[in-house]
Chains A and B, each alone.
Chain A
């Protein structure tokens, strides 16, 4: 288990982390999720020992690591911009941690080959990082971090510098890798979709504080507050409540708790249909319907409908 207790970190006047406490279970794949400036990267770097907290304690597997330098924390760290050792071949990059530990050459060679196989870079051992694509460089960086068999794998926006296709691919790949290797993994991201797709445990942060912790589904369905709800997905305001646009039920007849609305624009996006509804005295509300539902309702501009929100995924304002 990785634990942070009462961790505070300031950069000048800016409070990056404000009395943060958290426990990350063994073997989990945890995502620290939040907007930029929320403190998620700082928290990760403090766990790694790359930053020192002003107050508070960091524990890894029950032992206090707060004053332990990164060299002796037995962690693997992956940087957003790869931090590839440019003057070394792929082999030497991956072997770096083992060479530092003075492992016998043959063992190093075998281990590097095994790791390059795992990350799909067999045959690239003698290349230089400049000869690899972004995705390949990041996989090399992962192999390099895994080579020393870390107790914890820490990834700081690992896919942030990659284009969308490669990002989705690597995301899936990391998920599968975690199922095979089972090393406790913490990933920092500002992309809620990435966090939901990859992690089994979410930590949502904002302004240097933790807003909510839990499984992705639970956080999506039962957000602790308006910020968490808004950060994890689109939000519509219905009366004094925030609801998910796809949870809003549109009916042609008045019903219990239903509010009258007039249909504005209707936009067909393949499977999804977005309908703009104008409610009395409110900003227009955007509703997401499936194509099937939309066709059944036969909505057209100017129609009068009744809308209600079931008691699902909502937060009071």
Chain B
């Protein structure tokens, strides 16, 4: 398609304006509002015991949910891309369930399952209104990301390189580490970034199962919401700013650690 110069510039401007209006403006405003009353005010409001606890809870939940979903996601993608079995289409559809169901329904489902009187309500440790419940909810909502990023990459690269490795004497484990994983690492990295972002930002499902006990089961997003509801607008902005910083840090770290992109 050939588009003349004027049109090209107009289209580009439109796309950038769209991005600026819908993405950059709100995020930028959060930062602007956060620092409106000076750095010290922000520092004070993100170092309250409740904020520190919320920060670490969010990090801990993410540190458990994301690695689990990464391992499961890569395995699942291998099964979907390489396996030949009945019910593959069904498995494929089930993976998308967390995308299809509203997070708040996920939270309610977990309460039904693990809450008092649920099928698994009699476990020796508390799940609902406690740490395990938050982790479970987070795993549930972030499950599809790695699978969905890695499966098409696996299909694209095919299995000839893996076969070649096996004829050269590599066992399945060696083939996975030396051939398959390097070939899919961009898909994995992107899936991890999306999973981390979603884990940090998850609100609906976590809000239902956490019980929102300040200093115990309150994540950063829940803290933002509580402060906002209590008319502590500045505090809400500060916590939001912290969330945004974690997300941006993840993005930058992942990008830098994968910076050496091979020419393939």
Binding site for B on A (CB under 8 A): 48-50, 69-73, 75-77, 79, 81, 83-87, 96-97, 100-101, 128, 130-131, 141, 144-145, 147-148
Q: A79-B160, A128-B264 are in contact. Are A69 and B179 (CB under 8 A)?
A: no
Contact B262 A96 (CB under 8 A): no
Mask, B139-167, CB within 8 Å of A = 1, is 00000000000000000000011011111
Mask, B9-39, CB within 8 Å of A = 1, is 0000000000000000000000000000000
Cβ of B44 within 8 Å of any chain A Cβ, yes or no, is no
Of the candidate stretches B120-128, B168-176, B242-250, the one touching chain A is B168-176
Q: What band does the interface of chain B fall in when counting residues whose beta carbon is under 8 Å from A?
A: 10 to 19
**Which residues of chain B come closer than 8 Å to A79, judged between CB atoms?**
160, 163-164
Contact A71 B262 (CB under 8 A): no
Contact B264 A85 (CB under 8 A): no
Contact A71 B263 (CB under 8 A): no
Contact B167 A48 (CB under 8 A): yes
Offer 19 A-B interface pairs, CB within 8 angstroms, sorted by A.
A48-B167, A50-B167, A70-B167, A71-B166, A71-B169, A71-B170, A73-B167, A79-B160, A79-B163, A84-B161, A85-B164, A85-B179, A86-B262, A86-B264, A87-B182, A97-B169, A100-B170, A128-B264, A148-B169
User: How far is B170's CA from A100's CA once the two chains are assembled, in angstroms?
Assistant: 6
Cβ of B183 within 8 Å of any chain A Cβ, yes or no, is yes
User: How far is B182's CA from A101's CA once the two chains are assembled, in angstroms?
Assistant: 20
Contact B167 A145 (CB under 8 A): yes
**Which residues of chain A come closer than 8 Å to B178, judged between CB atoms?**
96
| Known interface pairs A71-B169, A96-B168; 12 further A-B residue pairs with C-beta atoms within 8 A, sorted by A's residue number | A69-B166, A70-B166, A79-B164, A81-B160, A85-B161, A87-B262, A96-B178, A97-B169, A100-B169, A100-B170, A145-B168, A147-B168
**Which residues of chain B come closer than 8 Å to A130, judged between CB atoms?**
263-264
Which of B167, B171, B174, B262 contacts A77 (CB under 8 A)?
B167
Q: A87-B183, A101-B169, A148-B169 are in contact. Are A128 and B263 (CB under 8 A)?
A: yes
Question: How many Å from the CB of A101 to the closest CB on chain B?
Answer: 6
Contact A131 B169 (CB under 8 A): no
User: How far is B168's CA from A144's CA once the two chains are assembled, in angstroms?
Assistant: 8
Mask, B88-105, CB within 8 Å of A = 1, is 000000000000000000
Interface centre among B160, B171, B179, B264 (most CB of A within 10 A): B160
A150 (CB) vs chain B CBs: closest residue: B167
User: How far is B174's CA from A73's CA once the two chains are assembled, in angstroms?
Assistant: 17
Which of A76, A83, A87, A100 contacts B160 (CB under 8 A)?
A83
**Which residues of chain A come closer than 8 Å to B168, judged between CB atoms?**
96-97, 100, 144-145, 147-148
**Which residues of chain A come closer than 8 Å to B262, judged between CB atoms?**
86-87, 128
**Which residues of chain B come closer than 8 Å to A100, judged between CB atoms?**
168-170, 174
**Which residues of chain A come closer than 8 Å to B174, judged between CB atoms?**
100
**Which residues of chain B come closer than 8 Å to A48, judged between CB atoms?**
167
Question: How many Å from the CB of B23 to the closest CB on chain A?
Answer: 33
Contact B163 A77 (CB under 8 A): yes
Q: A86-B264, A130-B264 are in contact. Are A50 and B163 (CB under 8 A)?
A: yes
**Which residues of chain A come closer than 8 Å to B263, judged between CB atoms?**
128, 130-131
**Which residues of chain B come closer than 8 Å to A50, judged between CB atoms?**
163, 166-167
User: How far is B168's CA from A83's CA once the two chains are assembled, in angstroms?
Assistant: 12
**Which residues of chain B come closer than 8 Å to A76, judged between CB atoms?**
167
User: How far is B161's CA from A77's CA once the two chains are assembled, in angstroms?
Assistant: 11
Contact A83 B166 (CB under 8 A): no
User: How far is B134's CA from A218's CA once the two chains are assembled, in angstroms?
Assistant: 76
Contact A77 B164 (CB under 8 A): yes
**Which residues of chain A come closer than 8 Å to B182, judged between CB atoms?**
87
**Which residues of chain A come closer than 8 Å to B264, judged between CB atoms?**
86-87, 128, 130
Question: How many Å from the CB of B157 to the closest CB on chain A?
Answer: 8
User: How far is B135's CA from A211's CA once the two chains are assembled, in angstroms?
Assistant: 64
A73 (CB) vs chain B CBs: closest residue: B167
**Which residues of chain B come closer than 8 Å to A70, judged between CB atoms?**
163, 166-167
Interface centre among A81, A97, A141 (most CB of B within 10 A): A97
User: How far is B160's CA from A166's CA once the two chains are assembled, in angstroms?
Assistant: 23
B168 (CB) vs chain A CBs: closest residue: A97
User: How far is B164's CA from A145's CA once the two chains are assembled, in angstroms?
Assistant: 9
**Which residues of chain B come closer than 8 Å to A72, judged between CB atoms?**
169
Question: How many Å from the CB of A127 to the closest CB on chain B?
Answer: 10
Contact A71 B171 (CB under 8 A): yes
User: How far is B164's CA from A126's CA once the two chains are assembled, in angstroms?
Assistant: 20
A128 (CB) vs chain B CBs: closest residue: B263
Question: How many Å from the CB of B61 to the closest CB on chain A?
Answer: 33
B174 (CB) vs chain A CBs: closest residue: A100
Question: How many Å from the CB of A98 to the closest CB on chain B?
Answer: 9
User: How far is B116's CA from A271's CA once the two chains are assembled, in angstroms?
Assistant: 93
**Which residues of chain A come closer than 8 Å to B183, judged between CB atoms?**
86-87
